Structure formats: C-alpha cells, structure tokens
Amino acid sequence: MKKKIVASLILASAIFVGVAFAGDAAAPAPKIDTGDTAWVLVSAALVLLMTPGLALFYGGMVRRKNVLGTMKQSFVAIPIVSIQWVLIGYSLAFGPDVGHFIGNLSWFGLNTVGLSPNADYAPTIPHQAFMIFQMMFAVITPAVVSGAFAERMKFTAFVAFLLLWTTLVYDPIAHWVWGTGGWIRALGGLDFAGGFVVEINSGVSALAAAIVIGRRRGWPHEPMMPHNLTLMLLGAGLLWFGWFGFNAGSAAASGTVATAAFVSTHIATAAAAMAWMIVEWWHRGKPTLLGAASGAVAGLVAITPAAGFVGPLPSLLLGGVAGLVCYAAVVLKNRLGYDDSLDAFGVHGIGGTWGAVATGIFASVAVNAGGANGLLYGNPNLALIQLGCVAATWAYSFFMTFTIMKVLDAVIGVRVDGDEEEQGLDLTQHGENAYTA
C-alpha cells in the first residue's frame, strides 16, 4: 500500500512539473481594472465562505451524532472539487466548446488560463480571477445536494459521488449555460448567477439521490429535530452574506450590474423570509426562526438566475412567491414520502425553478442591457426559452444523478449499515465526536 502511494506521488509530481508552467507565462494585460478585480476577488472569497456556511447550516439541522459527518460532506467538497476544477473541471465547463455540450480538455491543469483577461468571460479582470470565482460555484453545488442524503450516506460513496457528479453533471450544465458555445447560452436562456447550474441542478439531483438512498431509519414517525439551531442561524447568516458575492460577483465586474444584482438579491431574500414566516405563522400558529432562515435561503436561491436582470420591486414579488412555494414544497414532502433530509429539493429545486421561470417574466434590459426583456415587458419568448431550459436541466440532472447513485450503490453501496446509522456518522465514518460532555 505504502509503495503504491509513494509511486503515485512521484508520478503525479512529474506530471505537475511537466505541465505546470504554460499558464503562468501570460504577462499582465493592460486592460485589467483594479476595482473590477477587487470586486471579483472579494466575491470569490465570499462564495468560498458559503461552503463552511452551508456546513454549519446543515450541521445544525441534523442530530448530534451526525453533525460532523454532515459538515464534512460540505467541507470536503472544497478540496476535492477544487482539485478536479484545476485539473479538468474548468476546462470541461469553460474550455473550447465540443458540440454545444461540453468544453474540451485543452485547458487541462489550467493550461493557458493565465493572468491576462479572457475577453469572452470577463474582459477587465485576470482570467484566473474568473476561473477561481467559478470554482467556488462548482464546490458548493454538490455540497447542497448532500442535504438530501444527510445522516445515512457512506463517506467513501460520498467521495466517489462528488467526483462523478461534478464531472458528469455539474461541468456539462455549467458549459451549456455559461460556456462559449453552450446550447442554453446560444439559445438565449438567462441565468445570471446559477439558477440552472447551481440551484435547479443541485435540487433536482437531491431529489433523485434521496429516492435512491431511501429514508432514514425511523423517518417520518420519529421526530428528528435539529440539534443546534444557533449553528443553523449562523450558517444562514454566512450564506446570506456570501451570496452577495455569488450573485453580484457574477457581474464579473464592479458597477451598475453588480449593484443591481446586489440589490435584487437582498430584496428578494427579505421578501422570501417574510413570506415563509407569515405562511408558517398562519399555518402552524407560530413563526419559527428556522422558518425565517429557510425562507431567506429560498429567496436567495430564487433570485439567483434573475439577480442582474430584474429591478427592486419585481425582486420583492419574486422573493415573496419563492417563500410561499418553497414552504409548500417542504410541507408536501412528508406526504410524498421521500426523505430529502434537509430539503435540498424543496428549497433549491423548487426555488431555483421558480426563479428561472420568473427571470423569463421580470427580466428587463433597462436593468441590464446585456440581458433581455421578459414576459412583463412584452417578450413572451424569453419565458418560453426559460421553461424549455428548465425542463432540460431537470431531466438531465435527475437522470444522471439517479444513474450515478444506482451505479455507486451497486458497486460500493451508498448507505451505511443499520448499526452505523444508529450510532451515527461521526463515530462510524470519521472516528470523532462533535462534543464532549
């Protein structure tokens, strides 16, 4: 075993050294804007923070015995997906187009991805700044999916899932939507900051994964209450904060579009938190903190595709509806009988779908000349395009994730055994206890 590892390390080093330096050669281009670069770097840092934020948000909602296992499913996405992105992911998603479906591998190991701007993606910042900003999106997306199978997935299976899913599901969809030559981009589908790529994709994949892995033991008759709602709130706060980078950073520059995205993000989130709180108050008699926080996340999700394309008041409406539909989705789950532990589908799948549709309604070239007008501004076409793209993303995400989970289950098994589930993931998968007495 030791020998094999050493051998692979040597081999790997050799490869690194071989291909290492092409990308570095690019001299700084004169067009780089310091304000734009500052904004995109800050945004990348903010999006990075969202993944620990998600770890806390999710970790607070599970039972004590699974908190580390749940957090680790988010946290480990950072190293694993980042390395995949450097080696092949960025090339697959943003590299030269192959059949409108995927990038080729010519940017392998960030080959040619240097410090001068790439005019296709972000003309005023170093290409690597765009690359690293996008990396953070690839990282958090499968972490969102992990909410679906929290408290019962084998860690080895999760690592395999992470690599397969990122490569086979995330990278292609990112290419469709944002890659030069991608078919959704070519068709004119609008996705400002990842409504398709991140939200619908993760949410629908969560549904497929929850179905394959099956319910937690004891669900739904045994209450599985969140073990620490202060962690949850902290996580929600960090997500809200980081999402400004996610959405407004997607302008890939500082200025009016970034401002519009920032403003719409905040307003929609406020409205969704409000709406969730009100509907829960009316439905159950009490407004919970988890409800307000969940509503906020639903709003953040829903505004994501629309952020840089819509004005303040449409955002208010968009967010309010998001709070309502996600609340309904989450409540309905219990009737439909699948156990999406932390409601990744109910919040991200449904919220993202509504957001993508709403972009087709509320988008306005007055906000962003680079966008398009929606239904409300007399262009029903956009709404139809959005609907079509939603359907395609749903189908692809669901089918691919279902298949990946089924294959993994057959090959290594996706689920811990009953005793391990009883004892918890922390001890059985990671040999750790979150809290000592």
Partner 1 sequence: MKRVEAIIKPFKLSDVKEKLIALGIHGMTVTEVKGFGRQKGHTELYRGTEYKIDFVPKIKLEVVVAQEMAERVIEAVISAAHTGQIGDGKIFVTPVEEVIRIRTKERGMEAI
Binding site for partner 1 (CB under 8 A): 222-223, 225-226, 280, 283-284, 286, 288, 290-291, 294, 327, 330-331, 334, 343, 422, 427, 430-433, 437
Residue (214 or 237) nearer to its own copies, CB: 237
**Of residues 305-364, those binding its own copies (CB under 8 A):** 311-314, 316-317, 320, 364
Binding partner of 222, given partner 1, its own copies, none, CB within 5-8 angstroms per partner class: partner 1
Binding partner of 82, given its own copies, partner 1, none, CB within 5-8 angstroms per partner class: its own copies
- For residue 102, the surrounding DSSP H or E stretch is strand 102-103
Among 220, 284, 422, 423, binds its own copies (CB under 8 A): 284
Pairwise CA distance, residues 59 & 232, whole Å: 7
Binding partner of 271, given its own copies, partner 1, none, CB within 5-8 angstroms per partner class: its own copies
Residue (19 or 290) nearer to partner 1, CB: 290
Binding partner of 52, given its own copies, partner 1, none, CB within 5-8 angstroms per partner class: its own copies
Nearest of 20, 49, 409 to residue 246 by alpha carbon: 49
| Amino acid (one-letter) located at 161 | F
- Mark residues 117-136: x for contact with its own copies by CB under 8 A, - for none: --------xx-xx-xx--x-
Q: Helices marked H in 146-218 — which ranges?
A: 155-165, 171-178, 183-187, 201-213
Residue (245 or 291) nearer to partner 1, CB: 291
List CB contacts of 428: < 8 A, sequence separation 6 or more: 416, 420
Q: Is 286 in the site for its own copies (CB under 8 A)?
A: yes
Residue (313 or 391) nearer to its own copies, CB: 313
State both tokens at 45. Answer: 């840092």
Pairwise CA distance, residues 166 & 172, whole Å: 9
State both tokens at 83. Answer: 């390395």
**Of residues 191-230, those binding its own copies (CB under 8 A):** 225-230
Pairwise CA distance, residues 124 & 207, whole Å: 39
Q: How far is the CB of 393 from its own copies (least distance, A)?
A: 27
Residue (163 or 187) nearer to its own copies, CB: 163
Q: Is 241 in the site for its own copies (CB under 8 A)?
A: yes
Nearest of 219, 173, 177 to residue 386 by alpha carbon: 177
Pairwise CA distance, residues 31 & 254, whole Å: 14
Among 57, 58, 66, 68, binds its own copies (CB under 8 A): 68
Q: How far is the CB of 47 from partner 1 (least distance, A)?
A: 26
Residue (317 or 331) nearer to partner 1, CB: 331
Residue (223 or 378) nearer to partner 1, CB: 223
- For residue 19, the surrounding DSSP H or E stretch is helix 2-19
Binding residues for its own copies, total number by CB under 8 A = 129
- Kindly indicate which of the ranges 41-49, 169-177, 347-355, 412-420 contains the residues binding its own copies, using the contact rule CB under 8 A: 41-49
Pairwise CA distance, residues 239 & 56, whole Å: 10
Helix axes 289-303, 34-61, angle to 10 degrees: 140
* Residue that has been written with the tokens 């030069």 in this structure: 180
State both tokens at 202. Answer: 């993760």
